[in-house]
């Protein structure tokens, strides 16, 4: 019978690989200042669209109508 000694081949440990994978994923998910800026711009654009929509629904009063001098003011 031949010598049946089990020689283990060194290989990366599963826990270390999993931990490395998790940290790489977390790093990839971090947002940058550029991402923050784009998100903020998108929110502002949505707010502007909402304000314009509300303005159209309210009767579309223009600034000239709001400053009409025929409201009883005399010079």
- pLDDT (tens digit, 0 to 9) for every residue of the chain, 75 residues total? 555 556 565 566 888 888 889 888 888 888 788 888 999 999 999 999 999 999 999 876 555 555 555 555 554
User: Would the pTM of this model clear 0.85, i.e. be above it?
Assistant: no
Place of tokens 């790489």: 24
Query: Which tokens hold the place of 74?
Result: 């005399």
In angstroms, rounded to a whole number, what is the distance separating the alpha carbons of residues 21 and 14?
10
pLDDT for res 45: 97
Instruction: Annotate 8-65 with DSSP letters as a single string.
Output: PPP---HHHHHHHHHHHHHHHH---HHHHHHHHHHHHHHHHHHHHHHHHHTT---HHH
> What is the reported pLDDT for 41?
96
């Amino acid at each position: 019978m031949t010598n049946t000694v089990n020689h283990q081949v060194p290989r990366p440990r599963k826990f270390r690989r999993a931990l490395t994978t998790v940290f790489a994923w977390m790093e990839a998910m971090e947002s940058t200042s550029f991402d923050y800026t784009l998100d903020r711009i998108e929110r502002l654009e949505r707010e502007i669209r909402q304000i314009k929509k509300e303005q159209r629904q309210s009767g579309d009063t223009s600034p000239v109508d709001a400053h009409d001098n025929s409201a009883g003011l005399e010079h």
